[in-house]
Amino acid sequence: MSSARSLMRSTAPFPMTKIQQQPQLIIRTKAVGELPRLVRKAGHQCVVITDSHLRSKANELSLEIKKAGLPCSLLTVPAGEKSKSLVVVEELCEALVKTGLGRDGVLVALGGGVIGDLAGFVASVYMRGIPFISVPTTVIAMADSSLGGKTGVDLASGKNLVGTFYPPMAILMDPTLLETLPDREFKAGCAEIIKHGVIHDERFFTFLEKNRESILARKPALILKMLKQSAKVKLTIVGEDPREALPARPNSTNRSRMLLNYGHTIGHALEKLSEYTLPHGEAVAIGMIEENRIAVKKGILTKDAATRISTLIENFGLPTKLPKEATMARMKKLIARDKKKVGSSIYFALPTGIGSADLFPYDLA
Ligand SMILES: NC(=O)c1ccc[n+]([C@@H]2O[C@H](COP(=O)([O-])OP(=O)(O)OC[C@H]3O[C@@H](n4cnc5c(N)ncnc54)[C@H](O)[C@@H]3O)[C@@H](O)[C@H]2O)c1
Ligand SMILES: [Zn+2]
């Protein structure tokens, strides 16, 4: 463990000032090549957890770890959100015991947000917590779920209702892993990246406007630049409020992690309405456009800025229109169930311009 701790401290390319554990973040082409070295530093045995779509990549990586002289097993769960459940957590923990993994072991999460959330949660509770390394393979996981230390699984009553704050010891972001990602998943992840530009970084937003074609053509240099800047925004916001504990109230210098919720209050309601058939990033894209309407109505966002945001979302090939079934009455009902509700108010994170945002109460009563 002492070697893992010193590793956590060694390089932190982005500010994560108030997070207890500083994961080492490596963003570069062929970053996964670092995995055997990191695993060897962290433990004496390794288990890779992945999903059924990534099994052959996971096999390759476990062979590399074995070549480096460390026992390594592979556990695969079915691809998809259904695997984010307590039943699967129990199955994985039983399987880990069978591999002989002890407290000197390390878990590797290879996959999208589902695997990151699930394996991270397992790492946080198995034998009261063992180190894990996150290897995200979707844009959502690289831009969002692998950063910020949240793990979790779903209950029948709702998504992400059981979880922990448990940052990985290292995050390896390798854009070559995105080569096999279907186009729709790729674009959906870009919605979260656009969100980061809108709420925190106008220059980054302009970079996305200028380089949209090359990003969608997956030019490695542009993808790297985009991932690095996007991570910087997310980690800056998370570093100010790692446990989402700052009070939700409007404040011109707002540092609440809830700012990351822009597009998500309406986005989550749309996901629920579609019974989770609408991909998260697409729901967030529509959510950002609809929440902009509220911001324009409140007089906190200009019409021009709102148009610039919707144009970028549309140019990234993301949906912009509310589905017909999303009536006002249905949406209000779903929004009222949002787990980020405070008393009888929902706080919307709304842009106040391009590159800034704040929290505003919306009374549901
Ligand atoms: N912890 C957080 O802070 C946080 C933040 C955002 C989202 N999330 C969670 O993330 C999940 C969504 O993540 P996601 O969109 O990555 O979904 P996902 O993990 O289900 O991946 C989407 C699909 O792409 C496949 N896939 C993954 N990588 C691939 C690759 N490189 N090539 C080909 N196919 C690949 C997967 O098998 C899956 O079928 C949700 O459960 C959400 O709650 C968590
Ligand atoms: Zn999101």
Structural domains for the chain:
2-179 (3.40.50.1970), 182-363 (1.20.1090.10)
- 254, 264, 290, 291: the active-site residue: 264
Q: Which of 84, 195, 200, 257 is catalytic?
A: 257
Is 150 labeled as catalytic in the residue annotation? yes
254: alpha, beta or left? (left if phi > 0; alpha if psi -120 to 50) = beta
Ligand index nearest the alpha carbon of residue 56: 1
* Smallest CA separation from ligand 1 atom 3, residue: 145
The pLDDT, as a whole number, for residue 13 is 45
Sequence-distant (≥ 6) Cβ neighbours of residue 285 within 8 angstroms:
188, 191, 194, 263, 267, 313, 316, 318, 319, 320
**Among this protein's residues, is 234 annotated catalytic?**
yes
CA quadruple 80, 168, 58, 103: dihedral sign: negative
Helices (H) and strands (E) in the chain, counts: 13, 10
Q: Which residues of 123-140 are buried (b: 16+ CB within 10 A; e: fewer)?
A: bbebeeebbbbbbbbbbb
CA distances from 173 to 14, 52, 131, 166, 197 (A): 14, 20, 18, 18, 20
Q: Inform me whether the pLDDT recorded for 9 exceeds 50.
A: no
- 30 alpha carbon – ligand 2 mean position (Å): 26
Q: Whose CA is nearest to atom 20 of ligand 1?
A: 80
Q: Which amino acid is at 331?
A: M
- The model's confidence at residue 344, banded by pLDDT at 50, 70 and 90, is low
Report DSSP letters for 146-185, one per residue: TSSSEEEEEETTEEEEEEEE---SEEEE-GGGGGGS-HHH
Q: Which protein residue has the closest C-alpha to ligand 1 atom 16?
A: 112
Q: What is the pLDDT of residues 170-209, one digit of tens each?
A: 999 999 999 999 999 999 999 999 999 999 999 999 999 9
Question: What is the share, in percent, of the chain residues with pLDDT greater than 70?
Answer: 89
